[in-house]
Structures are given as structure tokens and as C-alpha cells.
Structure 1
Amino acid sequence: MQAAPRGLRLEHLADGAFVGTPTPRLSWRWAEGSATPQRSQIEVELGHGPDVRTIEGSRSSLVEWPFAPLGSRARGTLRVRAEVDGEWGPWSDPASFETTLLEVDDWEAVLIEPVGVGGLDEPAPIFSTVFETGDIESARLYITAHGVFEAEINGDRVGDEILSPGWTAYRSRLRFLTYDVTTLLRSGQTNSIDVLVGNGWYRGRLGWSGARAHYGASLGLIAQLEVTRPDGSRDTFATGPDWAVRESHVIADDLYDGVEVDLRPRPPRTASVRVGPEIRRVLFPSFTAPIRELARLAPVEVRKTGDGATLVDFGQNFTGWVSLRVAGLASRKIEIRHAEILVDGALATETLRTARALDTYVLAADEARTLEPRLTFHGFRYAEIRGADLESIHDIVGVVIGSDLERTGWFQCSNERVNRLHDNIVRSARSNLIDVPIDCPQRDERLGWTGDLQLFAPAASFLFDMAAMLDSWLTDLRCEQHPDGSVPAVIPDVIGELIAPGAARGAGFSDAAVMVPLTAYRAYGDARLLEQQWESASRWVRRALEAAGEDRIWEGGFQWGDWLDPSAPSGDPSQGSTPVDLVATAALARTVEALSELASVASPDDVPALRDEHSRLLSAFTKRYVTHDGLVLGDSVSAYVFAIRLAALDPQQRLRAAERLISLLRGRGYRASTGFLGTAQVLDALDDIGASEIAMRMLLTDRMPSWLAQVRLGATTVWERWDSLDDDGVVNDPFMTSFNHFALGSVADWIHRRVGGLAPAAPGYRTARIAPILTSSISSASVRHESPHGEISVEWARGSDGVTVDIILPPGVDAVVDIPGVPGRLPSGRHHFRTGTPQASSRGDDASADRLVEDVLADEDQGTRLIDLLVRLGIADDDDDAYRRLSPYASMPVRDLADEIAHPAFRAAGPFVRRAFLESLGEGRPDVRTY
């Protein structure tokens, strides 16, 4: 018998959420063990029996609303069931819903602003009113602000969201929140509403210029409380000129600088309010995950510093604040500073640039009190507390905040450092998904960079339910897009013409207008999102093609290049080893190809012309940048990666480019030499040329610069630069270094697809692709993803007698499989296979000198010993020089290396050096001076 569907949702909202559209789409999951409905009908019931609609087909994700459009404040329940082969299954559990305010005319409230208090450098204002109610059946509060707000009714907090209403392109879109506040009101009594409003993104500092009040000079509030009586009548209490405003104890607040709170009693300054500008036409219901408290961390170490401060280590980098409970400190001033790392045992605040990241409290009395800032956030691992000795501190807690996104992806493998890297990537994502996907949570920036998100969106969409956040961010992108089609570097755009005035913006960054919606479509199957984004995406591509000119080579003007290539000068991160015009032209070709895929859903008639344009760009790229025998201008790793990934080369060129790419990587000891754009593609390029084991070597090396070098050096999040901190603990360019950045974490997408082996083969994972690399470097891996249709999992393990593979596909999902010994197509269900593939040999798991040089370099421990030995003997000046000298001998046994390497000092050392090599590759690290 067909099992009941489960998890019925409206749009991307959980059961009971407030719905912000009159025609919400429906999604559900078929229960495990039920037959996959290939030819079926689906019934949807609104209420309990009065209205049932039949839908043909087997779709279960984002099914169009089959009833008449809903009105504002509509409430109801929904159930679904399916018919398969003539038999109707049971109904799902009902899902309740309620629509919020859907029309401009639903708003009686107006925006109010303070008069005489709440100025830019004055305490945060509290807007308030009192009112009386009769008997109460239910009550709803609709509220938003110019600024960030916290509301109370009768002294009790409304909701648990933080920094509401979040950050959107305020001039075009200001989200409002809806709360069920029935239990907070007192029937037949006097009630009060108090709303604290802070500067937030609306009026606080944004960007590195120091500018404030980007959206307006005055804070404001619009709120509407609707109380429904038992007879169905409704009383409305709305913001207007009758409200009052007073100063709060928050003397100053800023997202970058922190808060100043004076808790000493004083008569508050009170004032009146004025009606502000009309904003009701830009209000829209919130549909994204709000910012909430996600976790609480206990310190791993608390110690006194030499000058009497208390230094706290929370053990990991995160976004949030310190919660401090103190007592016995009347009138004492307490300061809490924050930083991501320590240098010489002290907070390294240079990386904050001008952000003060300082919370200050002046206490009122001796009683115990918990101090939390709430109108700000910091990115930090370490906090320094002054003004309170340890005897007066009763509790220290690190409060972790972030958008409360549902976790949907998990990965684990036999290599603990890779697991730690993956954990760091997840932590960086949590830290930087703060309503808007930002670039770092600690310094005077924290902006929604288009390039960073375009690279990380595939990984993010696997790890979390990003559907609503990406939808909201792309809507802001459309609002901020310039009339000529240019896309700003950050969304929401608050830096304007500070970067490249009048330029077409940058390839690889503004391409987010195309790449992000396509990523979302692949992950969630939301065709409507592509349709909404089509005009924006195609306008950006037209603008970029115009900038490239008739020859389709995009050169001149400002470009980001392969941003933060480790070879780039510290002060000019765009000028790496790959020519910026090559990067721009390659990115444009890739984006046009992606636009043709987007057009196949949103505008099919445009597909042929886009494919022709793509072919034209490939021809232009190879003609300008690729020699007849396959060498690519710049001769850098990223240059070859872009050429290979574009599939722009003929077979002979491709073979030569592949050889050169591998040679360059070997010469670097498989360490990173790519910037943001190249990093997101390098491992896939190696897959494309059949060099997946080399991709694994890149992933697993821990020599600087590399992913695992950060892990080896104790990173708990992903760094902005490959070498934000070097092996000696020196910070690289503190002016632009973040230790919590998700761009280089784009590698998680490859880890999920190729180490774990799971990717979407059809939009929304209707068909999964299962293709793990059964590598000798990792003996087992497992990956799970909560797709729109249910959880998909892949687990494999290598043993001496072969490989076991376990695959679970939920109802409605099938898979294409690329694993030796496993069928190429699998239906939904549970599958177990044991292949005859033996345990792969790892040449020289012992310390044998018969190992090839390239294998030794790929080994974390022995590669380190070999490189260190060359440096200590004076054969090489540093690690880079050592890799360069060893590169020609990659395929040579280490035993023969002493006789062959071309270095006079090496040969002069003769048998002593040979002995040093052989013994250094064994147990221990002998001091070569003893020879």
C-alpha cells in the first residue's frame, strides 16, 4: 500500500509559518518504502473536505497552487495524497498555514521617526505605546524598522530573532515580520509595546570608507498590532503620531564598532514622533531564515594577561558576541574586545582595520547581571575583558549567531584532516551567512560580494537549505543592477562607485547574476527562479559582451582577475600569475554557456544564439591565448585550468595542456597556486583530464599554501588568503586578511561530488549522480544530502577484498552511477554492492627509498621531511626553491635522487647526503649535521 506523504510545506516555509504570497507552491516527500509514483494523480485538500483538487503527474516539489488565490490573513490546513496504479494512498498529516498582510492597503500603520532624540550620535531610541484590549481570540504583530529592532509586549520579548529585519536593498525592498503575540497580551487590561531600534545596516557603518547613514539619517518604525475578538471583529493598534519615544541605555551601537551600554539609572529623555516618508509600497513579507542564536560555547581557556586583563579563548572562530554574567561591580566600566587570532599572546586587532569591535558596559549596582550586546556582532575566537576581575565574573559564554538555515548536507571520510577542513568550511559558512552572504564577519567590510557567493553557492546549497536566501539575494541583485546591465560588486550595493567608476564591473564577480540562479536551479529545481532572473542575467551578459567588443576578447578596464592568487603582490591581489584579460575572457565564455542552460528553461528561443555566441568566444579564446601545441598564455595553473574547463582545445592541444598543468602542479609539490576563480575549478580540471589522483594529492597536501596547511596551523575556519598566517605565525597583509572567509571553501563542492560521490544529475536531485573517486589516499567516505525529495546517501569503504558501496535513494529519485562493478542506473531504494576492486596499493607506504619523488611529496609526513632536508642542507633556499629543484625528478625513485639532482653542493656532499636522504625518510628526523 502507498504510504502517506510527509513534510508538506508551502514555498520554502515550515508548517505553521506565515505565508507571504496568495499562491504558495506546495512541496512534500514520499514516505520511505512507498512506490515511486511514475503515473499518478495527486489530490490536494484545502481544509477538511470542502475543497479538493486533482493534479496529474508525479511531481512533489514546488507544485503550483491549485486553488483560488488566498487573501490576507487567510488561515487553513492542507493535506495531500497520491494515486498509484488505481489505488489511493492515505492522506498526509495536515499542514497549517496563515497568510500575512499581502496588500499595501492592509497597512493602517505609518512609519514614525523620533523627534529630538535618536540622532546619529545619540542613544538608541525606544518607540512605545499603551493601549487597552477587550477579550482576545488571537493577535498578530506586523513590524519592521529603518534600523534593526527588538520588540517587547508587556515586558516580554517578541520572537527570538536577532538584528531584524535583516539587510535588503532598503530603497526597493524592506521586509516585515509577522508574529503571533496572542499569549503576550492581557485581555481586558492595559498593554504596552516597546521597540528598541538600533542603527544596524540602515544607518551604521558599511564598507571601509567610514561612511554612515547610507540609507537615511533617521531611524524609524512601522508596526501594526491586530487583535481579533471572539466574535471575529478586529481592533488595530498601529504606529502613528500618538506614539512616544525615549532614549535607551544603549549609548552607541554599530555593527562594526560594537555597543556602549550605560546601565546606571537616569531619567530618560522622552520626545514625540513624526510621520516619516511613505514606505508601504516597498514592504514585503519576510520569507528567509531569520538570524538567531545558533549555539553557546564554553571557553577552552581563561587566563590573566600581564597587565591585568582577562583573555578568553573560545576554541574556534565564530560570529556573535560574549555573554558575561558579573556581580559586585557597581558603577564599574567593563570593556570586551574581540579578535580572530593572537600575535605574541595579544589580540591581533590590525586585521579589523578601523572596526573597533568593542563592547562597553557601565554597571548600575552590585547585583548579578548578564551582559549581552545584541545590536551588533563580531567575528572572533579570542576576547579580552577589562574592568572585571575573575572573582566577579560568574559565567563567560560565546554566543554564536547566524541565519537559522536548515542543515542539509554532511560529509565524513577516513582522513581526519579532511574532516577538519570540511568542519571549518561549515563553520565559515555559518559565520558568514548573516542574512546576506558576506565575506568576513570581523573587519570594516562584511559585504555581499558577488564573486565570493558565485563560487561558494554550490557548496552552500549542499550544506544548507539556501533556496530562500538565494532567492532574496537575487531579488536584491535585480534591484541594484544598473540600467546598462552592469552588476555591482556587492549586493546590497553600498560601495557604489568606490570601485571602478563607470566600469562594466568584473568578470567572475558580476557573473553571479547568471551562475547563482543556475546553481539554485540545479539544487532545488525551482524554474520560477530562473524565469524571474532571466532578464537580469541576459542584460548582464549583453553588457559584458559589449565590453569585450567584436573580437570577444575582454581586455582593458578594471578586472578582479584570479583574485588572491598567492603569487599576486600583497597590495594588488588581482595581479596574479594569470593575465587578467585571459581570466575575464574565460569567465565570459563560461557565463555565456551557463546562460544558454538557463535559457533552456526561461527562454528556449534564445538557446541557439547563445550557443553560437559561446562557440565564438571559445574560438576567440584559443586564437588569442593558446598556442598551436597547447601552451596557454601566462603558463600558470589557472590559465590551463580555464582552458581545459572551457573545452576549448583540440585533442592535441588538450593533451599538451594537461601535461603542462600536471607538470606545474608537480613543480609546486601539489600546493595551491590559484586565486578565487581558479581554485573553484582546478580539481574539476584534473578530473577532466583523468588526473583525479593528482586532484586528491592537491587536496591532501599540507604544505603552505594549501587547504590542509590551514588545518595544520590550527585554523578553525577557512582563511581569506591561502597564507593569511605563515608557518612562523606571521600575519600576511593585515590590511586585507580575514581568518573566516568562505571563498576558498568552494572546494567542499568537489569533496561532496568526488570524494563522497554525490551530485545532482537533474534539477532538484530528481536524478542523482554518484561518482566517487575510489582513491588509494582515502579508505572510506560517506556523504548525505537532504534533497527536496528526501535524504540521499552514499557510503563507500575500501578493504583488502574490494570495495563496499551503500546507496540510499528516496522515493521519486533515481541515480546514474559511475563506480566499477555497480550498475549504471539505479532506482529509488536501498542498494548494497561489493565490487572486486582490490585494495589499491600505495607505493611505498613504508619508508622505502624506492618510492617515486612525486609519491614522497604527496605524503604529508615524508614530503615535509624531504623538503626540509633540502633546505637544511643548503641545496634549496626555501620550500618553493626545493619544489622547483625536485620537479624534473618527479618520476624518479628517491634512492637515485642523490646521484642525479643538478646542484653542485648536493653532488659534493656525495654519500653523506645519500645517507641523510634515506634515513630522513625513515622514522625520526635526523640532524644532518651528525653526518
Structure 2
Amino acid sequence: MNRFLLFFLCLSLSVIGQTPPPSPLRVEQLRVEYKTNPVGIDAFLPRFSWKLFSKERNTLQKSYQIQVSKDDKFSKKGLIWQSGDVVSDASHLIDYQGPNLQSRQRYFWKVKVIDNYGNVAESAVNFFEMGLLASSDWQAKWIEPEKEGIDFKKQQPASLLRKEFVTKPKGKIASARLYVTSRGLNEMYINGQRIGKDVLSPGWTAYQARIQYFTYNVTAFIQAGNNAIGAMLGDGWYRGYLVWENNRNVWGERVALLSQLVIKYEDGTEQIIGTDETWKANNNGPVRENDLYNGETYDARLEKKGWAAVGFDESAWWNVRLGNYPKDNLIAPAGPPVRRTQELKPLKVLTTPAGETVYDFGQNMVGWVRLRVQGPAGTKIRITHAEVLDQKGNFYTANLRSAKCELNYTLKGDSIEVYEPHFTFMGFRYARIEGLPNPPVLDNLTGIVIHSDFPNSGTFETSKPLVNQLQKNIVWGQIGNFVDVPTDCPQRDERLGWTGDAQAFVRTATFNKEVAGFFSKWLRDVAIDQKPNGGVPHVIPDVIQNKNPDDIKSSAGWADVATIAPWTLYQVYSDRRLLETQYESMKKWVEYVRKNAGAKLLWTNGEHFGDWLSYRGAAQFGEPVTDNDFIATAFFAHSANLTSKAALTLGKATDAVLYGELFQNIKKAFLQEYVSPNGRLVCNTQTAYVLALHFDLLPENLRPQAVERLVQDIKRHGNHLTTGFLGTPYLCHVLTRFGKNDVAYDLLNQETYPSWLYPVKKSATTIWERWDGIKPDGSFQDVSMNSYNHYAYGAIGDWMYQNMAGIDLVEPGFKKFVIAPKLGGGFTSTKATYESPYGTIASSWEQQNGKTTLKISVPANSKALVKLPSIGADKLNQLAQTQRLKLVEGALEVGSGEYLFEW
């Protein structure tokens, strides 16, 4: 009997990799403003981050010293700032505190660290380079390439611009930088070579207030003597079709270019070649039409060989005109550029029942196809794109609405021709090709995946293939919709920065990718497009209501992105500056709702989307609906609470008290209006109970009843959810928080409609907009709104990381975090990693032959609280004593290192 108990209750702990001697402390992965060796930043006080690596357990930083110099030797003359020995364990987002930084100057920096064992480590030398910090730094002029008399209500050819220049005689070039922005999209060329790896530049911002410019190191492209610089301009978001009903020219009719090439010579002199009246333009190039929704028309017969090289005959080109545009609204990108990130080969070529040739890439992706073809000059090829095939297996594009999503290519007749579009992107799995001069082969097309090129943050895998596919779908949905802004969908005539989708998904997004810079950039536009009265538009940048600034309609759960996203990102990245930047926007939004709610503090007016696309039962409106005023008041309380927390974090004590009291008063109003004395809500829906519980709107004594009613409703629906965009992100969190983890697993494992795995069983490779985008009988949902790449419901990924793998933060930035996996649901293993600001966190558990194994990794300069499931207090105390670990509220506190727990 004693042996039996010992076998099942004995808990052991070992340290992985103790045999090799500890390696010296290392300082690596240096970054400035989330970027490695950035060129062209405009943060006046840039922030430094680094990570420590050591095999010695419990390693913490004791002190650091940062040095910044104008030369990489850190000479006495070049050294401009050193922090001195700062006794601190801070290694993330440390403010520069030296003298003012200069435009275009490259600075070198390094950091020296001493750890708690007395080990000393110095980093390699890294650099950062400033962009153009003042509008006066721009000597170039805005130029417009198009002639008068153009009908700008229609799609236009891409404009070509060029200029030749001569470098200084006998001047040896030390460096060259190209600073570029445009109204519309641009591609830049020097001496015939494409500059940069980014696409769709300069990206999408609230153009009326700010436009991004890009900085390129072009030293290797400049040659002694004669040179040529060229640009191609497309419509893009600036003047292309946006929203619906043939809406064009939202910010302007004419595309324009601002380009400044700065060549620095070794003798210290400089030469600037900027856009001005001497540039030439032409609209008779091969890109005849270009649009984000409709695609591109390209006639290879019109290619102008050498148009961006020296010696091209530009006699038929015309003079540009100067554009009257400001330069004080130009900003360097805070987030990553959009780039080609991978290539996919089609899995097969299909001949559909309708007799069409269709390429199946096996993955719903975002980007375009590269065409490889050979045939007679004048041959016309048309490529259209679709996410799904219909019930009969035919090509299906009805859900694209008015978006054509097509490429039209005319061959020039040279041997093998290779074509990629320039100023468009598609959301698709299938590509239909028409007009091929030869039988189709797999090599005809290659899928080019594009998205904002942010670093990976997490990995996640379980013992169940369907859940693993769900995780893949979540990631593909994220990258497909994070194309410079967080869009709702990438395929139809929409692709807008819907605030509700971003609010629902932001926490999950942080687990999959590092999105600090991406969201910092977008949230600035949230604040910019926010109306004077505090209202937040439905989409950012605001292309729906910007023409009617007084006609602002803000929806609860959508506009609350103004409070939820900044607070979430602060928690994940410990980015105080982001929170400071967005704080006034947070306040303005809460005050907007306070005014609409009135003295009763109940937001009962306005127009709201509600719990968007929630399950309505077998028949239309067969299920109760969560009232809009209930949802609006709940989110009002939540936003007030988050604003109070933000104020407290930022040291704004008065505001913290003000919004804390407001939160409590809204709770009282909510309780009186929407909750019966025994805890029943006026809206008997899953979403109602989820919001009330997750936002802490119910008193402690009523929470158990509310949880039971939530569970009963889930059981009544056969272990199915009924939530929409606003309830779904919090559903499983609430169940797990209140001891119903088994029910949360039941929902995750559910394979029939409505559920997360239902689309997976229907062969989805991304997240759908609707729970039943494809119905059980194989037919499609409402053609007017049925996207197969819509990431909002992918918000379950947050719960999967936090509860299945057990990785969650305790302190902002994961300085201290918890590893507390919740076993169950028939899973025999789960493993995940997360790249925190301090290094890689890993959690991997497995159950086999009655034994549970948990492997974890804690990065240097951080700590973890480890909660072991099903282990009693006595055994934890025993383990803590034998291993000299601290026990904190039922969790083992461990420092850096790798650990193996078995029981």
C-alpha cells in the first residue's frame, strides 16, 4: 500500500542540462524601438532593449551600462552618451537620455551587464540611424506625374518617373540614403534595380494627418559617374477604390512622389538629388490599371526597357508638375513593412465541372501569384482568385461582391516571361487561369504570401491534429489580415481596419507575432481619426465617415478598441510610452460614452453592431439576442475600469480615482437595470453572462449562479457556443476562471456547428467570418457577407496559450509570469513557446502511462510561478523545501533555467 501511494504521489524535480558547466553570461538580441539595427527612425528618445543568456539558474541582471557613440570605436570624441552603471534589472525599452539626436546620423551602441553572480558581459556593437526629424530636412519637392484632363473617377495606369544625375567627379562615396514617400503606392529603382524588399509602400495611415516615409541604404546601388533613379506610382489606398459603391479618391485624385537621395562622400561633402521640376514622367507603361480590390492589368508589350537606367530616351516623356502638399506630416514607420514572406507551390491543377482550369494552393493565403508563361506576343491571360469552390466543385467568386480580384497579362512574345503584380493583393486559395497558350502545368503559377513582416512570437501544438490545424488557421488568418493595418478580410471589396475585429483579437495576436510596433502605428491613427467629441469610427483609417465628421456613430465593443488595445499591449510589452501616447484617446472615448449614457450611466441610445454574427438557432432569430444596451453598458464599465488602471500606471492619481469611481457607479447601475436579485440576467444568453462575469460586473455572491446559468445554456445547446464577435473572445476564459475548465474543453473539442472545429472539419485553412460560412449541407451562407478569412473568432488562441499551455503574465512584459497548464479535454500533450521581452518561455506537458511530465524554460532576468495540476499542498511544500524554492500562493517560484517536473 505504501509503495502504491509512493508511485502515484511522489513528485520529483530535475534540472535539464546541468551536466555541462555554465557558460559565461551573454548579452544578445539588441534592439532599438523593437527593431534590430534600424535605419531611418524618428523617435527623439529611442528605447533600447536586450536579452540575457546564461545556463546558470536564477540569473538576474544586477546593473547595466549603455554607451552611444557616433563611431563604432566609441572614441572619446565620438561618445555622446553613457548611462553610467545603473543598478537595475530593467533590460527592455530603456530610454535614451543623452543630447538631442541629429537627422540622418548613424549612432552605435552597446550595453554592458553585470548579473547577480558577478558575471560581466558586454554586447556586440549595434547601431541605429535617424531619419529626417524635421520638415526642413526635406529639400525635395512633391511632384505629380499626370497630365491635365484625366478622368480620375476611373482606374489609371501606373505612372513612371525618372531622372538622371552625375556623382561628384573624383568623389569617393561613403554612403547613400534614399528617403521616399508618396501619395499612392510606390516602387523605387536606381540604375534599373528595384530598391527595398517592402511592397505596398508607404503603407496605409490617416493620410490627411500623416504619411509614412521609408529610408533605404542604397550605397551599393550608386555608381561613379552617371546614374538614374526611377519610380513607379500606383493608386493604392490613397485614391483607389475603397469601401463600397465605386468610392474612389478618398484622400485625393492625383498620385504624387517625394524622394530625396542623399549621397555622402568620404571628404565629408554631400550631394542631394530630390524630386523637383526636372523629373520626367510617363503614363504609357505596362501597368494599365491597378487597384487593391480589382487587381492589375499589365501589357508586357509596353514595357520600357531601361526606363530607370542611364541613357534611356525620355524625349517622349513630359515634365512633372509640383504638388502643393505639406512635409510636416511625414513619419518614419513604427511598425514593420509589408513584405513577401514565403512562396507556395500549387498542390494540383484542376479541371472543374464547368471545364475551367483552376490551381489549388491548398492554403487560403493573401498576396498574389507569380506567372511563368511562354507564348506568342499579344496573347492575353486572365487570372482570377477565389477562396472556395462551390458544391459542384466550380470556381466561386460571388462572396467577393464587386471586387474583381483579377490579373490580366498580355504577353510580349519573348521566350519565357515571368510576371508579378505591383500594387494589389488578393485573398485566395484557388486561382483560375484563362488564355494559356500551352497546357497548364504546376510551374505556371507560384503563390507569393505577403503581410506585415513582424517576428514570430509563439508556437503551439497539441496531441490533437484538429486543434493543431485550428492554431494554423488562426495564424494564417492573422498574417493575411495584418497588411499594414488590422483588416477584417483580405478578399472582397472591404479590407478595412474594423475596430471590433482588432479589439477581439489583439491578445491572441500578441502570442503569435510581435505586434507592438504594428499596433502602435495603427492606434495612433485611432486617436487621430477619433472625433473631437471622443467618438471612435468603425474603421481606422476612417474611410466610411470621414466625409461627414459630424455624423459619427460609435459602436460598443468596436470603439472600445481605444481602451482595450492600449491596455492589452501595455500588459504584454510593458510599453509605457504606448500607454502614455494613447491615454488621452482612452479618456476621450470614456467621456463620449458617459455623455451618451447620461445620469443613469446606462448607454441605451446610439447604433451598435451588438454581438455580431452570434448563433441565432436553426431558424432565423430562433435564439434570444443580447440586447445592445446591455452590451454597451457592459463595455462602458470595462473601458472606465481600464482607463482607471492606465491612469494609476501612469501616475495620474486623480484620474485613477475618477474613473475607478465611475466604474463602480456603472456597476451599480448595471446591477439594478439588468440583474435580478438571484443573479438572473435580463438577457438570457451566453454572451450576457460572459460579459458580466469577465468584466466583474456582478457581486461575488451572484457569480456562482451566473456561472451555472452559463453552463446550463451551453449544455442546453449540446455543448455548443452561441456567442458572436463580442462574447466569443472571453467565453472559455470565464469558464476556466470559475472552475468550469471541463466545459471550456468541451467547447474547444466540439466538431459540429457552431464551433471552432466545425470549419476545420470543412477543410478550412483560415478562420471564417461566420460559424457556418459553409453550411452542413455544403451550401454557402449569405453571399453579401461571407468571408473565409476573418480572424475575429480566432481569439480562442489566447485561451489556448494561457490555459492549455498555461503561459500567462503576472507582471507587465512577462517580467514575472505563470506557467499553469490546465489538463483535460482528452489531450495527452500540449507544448508551446512564447518569445517574451526577456527571452523564450517554454511549456510542454505530456501524460503517458499514468505519469505527467512538465518541461518548462524560464529566460534569464525573469521569474516564473509554476502551478502543478492535481498536486496537493503537502507535496508542494515538500518539493519547495527539498529544492529550496519559494512557495507563493500555491505556486513554486523559479528563476531562469530549464526544469523538468514529473508526478
- Same-fold status (TM-score > 0.5): yes
> After superposition, where does 1:586-605 map in structure 2 within 5 Å?
586-602=634-650, 603-605=652-654
Two-structure CA RMSD over aligned residues (Å):
2.2
Pair 84,339 (structure 1): closer, same or farther in 2 beyond 3 Å: closer
Shift of 1:825: 3.5
Shift of 1:828: 2.4
- Which secondary structure state, in structure 1, belongs to the residue aligned with residue 55 of structure 2? coil
Q: 1:71 aligns with which of 83, 90, 102?
A: 102
Q: Which runs of 4+ in 1 moved over 6 A?
A: 266-269, 497-501, 568-573
Whether 1:277 and 2:321 are equivalent positions in the alignment is no
Q: 1:159 aligns with which of 196, 199, 204?
A: 196
Pair 223,819 (structure 1): closer, same or farther in 2 beyond 3 Å: same
Q: Are the aligned partners of 1:503 and 1:557 in contact in 2 as well (CA < 8 Å)?
A: no
- Which secondary structure state, in structure 2, belongs to the residue aligned with residue 30 of structure 1? strand
Whether 1:335 and 2:360 are equivalent positions in the alignment is no
Match of 1:919 in 2: none
Shift of 1:180: 0.9
Deviations 1:574-631 (A, max 9, x none): x971111111111111111111111112223311221111111111111111111111
- Which secondary structure state, in structure 2, belongs to the residue aligned with residue 470 of structure 1? helix
Match of 1:243 in 2: 279
Match of 2:268 in 1: 232
Equivalents in 1 of 2:706, 2:117: separation in Å?
58
Q: Percent identity?
A: 35
Deviations 1:845-874 (A, max 9, x none): xxxxxxxxxxxxxxxxxxxxxxxxxxxxxx
Equivalents in 2 of 1:41, 1:382: separation in Å?
54
- Which secondary structure state, in structure 1, belongs to the residue aligned with residue 328 of structure 2? helix
- Which secondary structure state, in structure 1, belongs to the residue aligned with residue 342 of structure 2? strand
Pair 525,563 (structure 1): closer, same or farther in 2 beyond 3 Å: same
> After superposition, where does 1:22-101 map in structure 2 within 5 Å?
22-33=44-55, 36-37=59-60, 39-46=62-69, 47-49=72-74, 50=76, 51=79, 52-54=82-84, 55-84=86-115, 87=118, 89-101=120-132
Q: Are the aligned partners of 1:768 and 1:815 in contact in 2 as well (CA < 8 Å)?
A: yes
Shift of 1:707: 0.3
Q: Are the aligned partners of 1:175 and 1:283 in contact in 2 as well (CA < 8 Å)?
A: yes
Whether 1:207 and 2:243 are equivalent positions in the alignment is yes
Q: Are the aligned partners of 1:147 and 1:219 in contact in 2 as well (CA < 8 Å)?
A: yes
Q: 2:629 aligns with which of 581, 593, 596?
A: 581
Whether 1:374 and 2:422 are equivalent positions in the alignment is yes
Q: Give 1:14's aligned amino acid.
A: T
Whether 1:508 and 2:557 are equivalent positions in the alignment is yes
Deviations 1:369-412 (A, max 9, x none): 01211210000101110010443765311111111111111111
Deviations 1:885-916 (A, max 9, x none): xxxxxxxxxxxxxxxxxxxxxxxxxxxxxxxx
Equivalents in 2 of 1:754, 1:714: separation in Å?
26
Whether 1:787 and 2:836 are equivalent positions in the alignment is yes
Deviations 1:413-447 (A, max 9, x none): 11111110000000000100000010000000000
Match of 1:111 in 2: 142
Whether 1:744 and 2:780 are equivalent positions in the alignment is no
Pair 349,86 (structure 1): closer, same or farther in 2 beyond 3 Å: closer
Whether 1:148 and 2:185 are equivalent positions in the alignment is yes
Equivalents in 1 of 2:851, 2:558: separation in Å?
44
Equivalents in 2 of 1:409, 1:91: separation in Å?
28
Q: Are the aligned partners of 1:208 and 1:445 in contact in 2 as well (CA < 8 Å)?
A: yes
Pair 415,353 (structure 1): closer, same or farther in 2 beyond 3 Å: same
Deviations 1:218-263 (A, max 9, x none): 0000000111112110010100111110022111110000011112
Equivalents in 2 of 1:558, 1:469: separation in Å?
29
Whether 1:365 and 2:413 are equivalent positions in the alignment is yes
Q: Are the aligned partners of 2:745 and 2:825 in contact in 1 as well (CA < 8 Å)?
A: no
Shift of 1:572: 10
Pair 307,414 (structure 1): closer, same or farther in 2 beyond 3 Å: closer
Match of 2:806 in 1: 757
Deviations 1:313-332 (A, max 9, x none): 10010101111100023211
Equivalents in 2 of 1:379, 1:417: separation in Å?
23
Q: Give 1:593's aligned amino acid.
A: N
Question: TM-score by structure 1 length?
Answer: 0.87
Q: Are the aligned partners of 1:569 and 1:576 in contact in 2 as well (CA < 8 Å)?
A: no
Equivalents in 1 of 2:455, 2:775: separation in Å?
35
Q: Are the aligned partners of 1:530 and 1:601 in contact in 2 as well (CA < 8 Å)?
A: no
Q: Give 1:826's aligned amino acid.
A: E
Shift of 1:770: 1.6
Equivalents in 2 of 1:103, 1:56: separation in Å?
35
Shift of 1:571: 10
Shift of 1:305: 3.9
Match of 2:433 in 1: 385
Equivalents in 2 of 1:177, 1:646: separation in Å?
41
Equivalents in 1 of 2:546, 2:681: separation in Å?
34
Q: Give 1:332's aligned amino acid.
A: T
Q: Are the aligned partners of 2:59 and 2:117 in contact in 1 as well (CA < 8 Å)?
A: no
> After superposition, where does 1:669-748 map in structure 2 within 5 Å?
669-748=718-797
Deviations 1:156-182 (A, max 9, x none): 010111110000011111010011111
Match of 2:333 in 1: 286
Q: Give 2:73's aligned amino acid.
A: H
Of 817-826 and 416-425, the range deviating more from structure 2: 817-826
Match of 2:159 in 1: 125
Gaps in structure 1 of 5+ consecutive residues: 837-931
Deviations 1:479-538 (A, max 9, x none): 111000111111100001799973550111101111111111111101111111111110
Equivalents in 1 of 2:621, 2:688: separation in Å?
19
Pair 535,652 (structure 1): closer, same or farther in 2 beyond 3 Å: closer
Whether 1:179 and 2:216 are equivalent positions in the alignment is yes
Q: Give 2:587's aligned amino acid.
A: S
Of 97-106 and 310-319, the range deviating more from structure 2: 97-106
Q: Give 2:896's aligned amino acid.
A: G
Shift of 1:674: 0.3
Q: Are the aligned partners of 2:477 and 2:791 in contact in 1 as well (CA < 8 Å)?
A: yes
Of 265-274 and 611-620, the range deviating more from structure 2: 265-274
Shift of 1:84: 4.0
- Which secondary structure state, in structure 1, belongs to the residue aligned with residue 535 of structure 2? coil
Question: TM-score by structure 2 length?
Answer: 0.89
- Which secondary structure state, in structure 2, belongs to the residue aligned with residue 736 of structure 1? coil
Equivalents in 2 of 1:629, 1:87: separation in Å?
60
- Which secondary structure state, in structure 2, belongs to the residue aligned with residue 281 of structure 1? coil
Pair 608,509 (structure 1): closer, same or farther in 2 beyond 3 Å: same
- Which secondary structure state, in structure 2, belongs to the residue aligned with residue 746 of structure 1? helix
Of 120-129 and 242-251, the range deviating more from structure 2: 120-129
Pair 266,509 (structure 1): closer, same or farther in 2 beyond 3 Å: closer
Deviations 1:56-113 (A, max 9, x none): 3121000011322210121232111123469461310110222121111111001101
Q: Pick 1 or 2: higher relative contact order, CA cutoff 8 A, min separation 6.
A: 2
Pair 572,532 (structure 1): closer, same or farther in 2 beyond 3 Å: farther
Gaps in structure 2 of 5+ consecutive residues: 1-22, 305-313, 877-886
Whether 1:4 and 2:26 are equivalent positions in the alignment is yes
Shift of 1:634: 2.0
> After superposition, where does 1:479-490 map in structure 2 within 5 Å?
479-490=528-539
Shift of 1:731: 0.9
Q: Give 1:48's aligned amino acid.
A: K
Equivalents in 2 of 1:45, 1:642: separation in Å?
49
Matched positions, count: 834
Q: Are the aligned partners of 2:375 and 2:437 in contact in 1 as well (CA < 8 Å)?
A: no
Match of 2:292 in 1: 255
- Which secondary structure state, in structure 1, belongs to the residue aligned with residue 26 of structure 2? coil
Deviations 1:451-477 (A, max 9, x none): 110111101111111011111001111
Shift of 1:16: 4.7
Pair 581,228 (structure 1): closer, same or farther in 2 beyond 3 Å: same
Match of 1:611 in 2: 660
Match of 1:829 in 2: 896
Equivalents in 1 of 2:773, 2:116: separation in Å?
61
- Which secondary structure state, in structure 2, belongs to the residue aligned with residue 735 of structure 1? coil
Match of 1:635 in 2: 684
Match of 2:255 in 1: 219
